[in-house]
Chains A and B, each alone.
Chain A
Amino acid sequence: MLGLTSSSIFASHGNFAALLALGAPSLAHLRPLDIAVIAIYFVMVVWIGFYLKNRANTSEEFFMAGREMTAWIAGLSFVSANLGALELMGWAGSAYQYGILAAHWYWVGAIPAMLFLGMVMMPFYYVCKTHSVPGYLKLRYGQGASVVAAFSFAFMTVLMSGVNMFSMALVMKVVLGWDMNFSIIVSSLAVAAYVYLGGLRSAIFNEVLQFVLIWGGALLVPILGLVEAGGWSGFKAKLAHNIAIGVTAPGDYTHMWRSMGHFADNPMGIHWTGILLGLGFAISFGYWTTDFLVVQRVLAANSLRSARMAPVIGSFFKMAVPFIVILPGLLALVVLKNPDGSLMHLVGENQVSALNPHSYNEVLPLMLVRYCAPGLLGLGITALIAGFMSGMAGNVSAFSAVWTYDIYQPLLVKKAKDEHYVAVGRLATILGVVISIFAAYTVMHAKGIMDYVQALFSFFISPLLGVVLMGMFWKRATKSGGFWGLLTGTLTSIGLWAWVHFYPAALRFVAISPDAKAMAEDMYRALWSVIVSVLVTFAVSLCGKPRPAAELDGLVYGATKLPQEEPVPFYKNEWFWTGLAVVGLIALNVYFW
């Protein structure tokens, strides 16, 4: 969830680094059974890569998994590509710190966008047979916008892969005491092997495997946590008691919207408009509908109906993820204890000390260690490793496709045999891993870069949303409109970020309140950049000559005749499940209002 990543997640690196500096002992000690569980996972992923080697011979097979994925596999892979271990640990920490507000990133900050992708946008992506999101831009707006999007995506993708790699090494060092070089080398070799051999199909298989492992490894924690806390009502009673006697910071930890009336009323410093329009629209639609890392998984579906169903299926699992991420963070508020029996206090980035050695972001490993016996602990650690490796593999496979189709083919070697592009894709996989390793070591030696990576990513995603939406739903949008919309939207995002970075008081203008905090800035900055990109695309397009409607077939709403799908019983219909997902989303928000 790169586009949705909160600053607190990236701050986790500071916490872990601080812990390392303190020379604290590792959190967990693995037994031989745990080591066996982890080793079996590595054997399995490499086995899958070798098994799929012979099914990645053509470019369609290597880059698009042969477009043979069922709705379930594409859907699980879609949601799994976003479920990295850093996200799990970071959001569990955010739940400990901010309460159930953190679930906004999983519900309103994801579900509407996923359903919109499936039901509204997917037909255009799928019918035009594009290999990537920059590929769609090329078909709709021409080479200029496509190349800009391709280069920015390729650069950010390998950078994020490196960040992921570094994060894993750091977490393994803190949690298990493993050498960082060992973690980086082993994980990158495994990822390089299975993506090089099996392409996207291998990455998708491993993502589905990872998804199952995460649930198998992490689900036990909230179950046992609830047992210990005396159920949800018992948890609330204990929390209220802790707040009353002053051992837990006061706040509303169990409601999502009640404290959103004003920026100053909640610890995140966000207003409900920021959550709804900034997070729920600008950021989440930007990420879930235009980030090729996740869209690529759905493009690999075996039919239009599967491609539409995949994000809908994914949305149900996404709605359930807070059970294994947010709930453990909340439960930790009442169950985590020091050896002397007193309530353990996890602290923020700059407060880690010998007295309070654990930070918010360690809450998930601490809960794992608390409940998991040998074997189960290995399973939990394997889930974290699988999450990290899956994130790397997702980035590398997406990089390989964009490099080959949107940079190498249009700019370097326009016409070559299919085998040539497969070979280039395989080499791009290795190149992607090598650059990721380089990025990981760069981040290791200059940790300040971490703060900028997230900002860099946000510069491109939201403006891209504005341009893609205008291109997909407005026939009048022109090539120049798309290019200038993308450029000015990106510059707006960069400009607003720089304004606040160099003049922090500007936050009150960007986030329209003097009480706003950093998270609110991310949301409003994304919203302004979408608005600017839409307005500029609109204005410039009005001054130009639109493309003939015949050229827009398969690309634009109103100019495309979508293929008729065979009628199916209601329980197989994507609109039925979309309706259920909407009802579920509303019910959750009302229950935790």
Chain B
Amino acid sequence: MHNSGISIWFFIGVLLTVYGALILGYGLVELATGQTANVVLANLHAPIWWGGLLLALGLFYGVRFRPRRNDQ
């Protein structure tokens, strides 16, 4: 897959990066303003660490499987 076009892992990397950035960004705003969503265990700030995890995974896959010039 990787040698004959853009890998599916790259698409996944892009999607996770975008999602991770959005969710982490929301979590940081929440932390900065102190206005947390009305959900159970909001004190754990799940958007920050879950968004951060998605972002890290997304960046890893996005970079590791990025399209190269000799592809396609």
Contact = CB atoms under 8 A, between A and B. Distances in A.
Interface of A: 33, 36-37, 40-41, 44, 47-48, 51, 55, 68-70, 73, 205, 208-209, 212-213, 216, 220, 224, 227-228, 335, 369-376, 379
Given A224-B44, A376-B46, A208 B8 contact: yes
A209 B40 contact: no
A497 B41 CA distance: 48
Interface string B25-52: 0110010000011011110101100110
B56 interface: no
Interface of B: 1, 4-6, 8, 11-12, 14-16, 18-19, 22-23, 26-27, 30, 36-37, 39-42, 44, 46-47, 50-51, 54
B6 A51 contact: yes
A70 to B, nearest CB: 6
A370 to B, nearest CB: 5
A224 B1 contact: no
Given A33-B22, A51-B6, A376-B23, 5 more contacts: A205-B11, A370-B39, A372-B46, A376-B50, A379-B19
Given A205-B11, A228-B40, A373 B19 contact: no
A68 B19 contact: no
A67 to B, nearest CB: 12
Contact of A228 (B16, B36, B41, B54): B41
A375 B15 contact: no
B37 A373 contact: yes
Contact of A33 (B16, B26, B40): B26
A146 to B, nearest CB: 31
B39 A37 contact: no
B18 to A, nearest CB: 6
Closest 8 CB pairs of A and B: A373-B37, A375-B23, A375-B26, A205-B8, A373-B47, A370-B40, A208-B8, A212-B12
Contacts of A70: 1
B39 A227 contact: no
B26 A209 contact: no
A556 to B, nearest CB: 33
Contacts of A374: 26, 37
A370 B22 CA distance: 20
A371 B5 contact: no
Contacts of A220: 46, 50
B40 A371 contact: yes
Main SS of chain A's interface residues? helix
Nearest to A220: B50
B19 to A, nearest CB: 6
Nearest to B37: A373
A37 B1 contact: no
Contacts of A68: 1, 4
A36 B22 contact: yes
Given A44-B11, A220-B46, A372 B4 contact: no
A37 B19 contact: yes
A216 B8 contact: no
Given A55-B5, A370-B39, A41 B50 contact: no
Given A220-B50, A227-B44, A379-B23, A69 B1 contact: yes
Nearest to A227: B41
A40 B18 contact: yes
A373 B39 contact: yes
Nearest to B20: A216
A45 to B, nearest CB: 9
Contact of A73 (B1, B6, B18, B42): B1
B1 A371 contact: no
B68 to A, nearest CB: 16
A371 B26 contact: no
A217 to B, nearest CB: 9
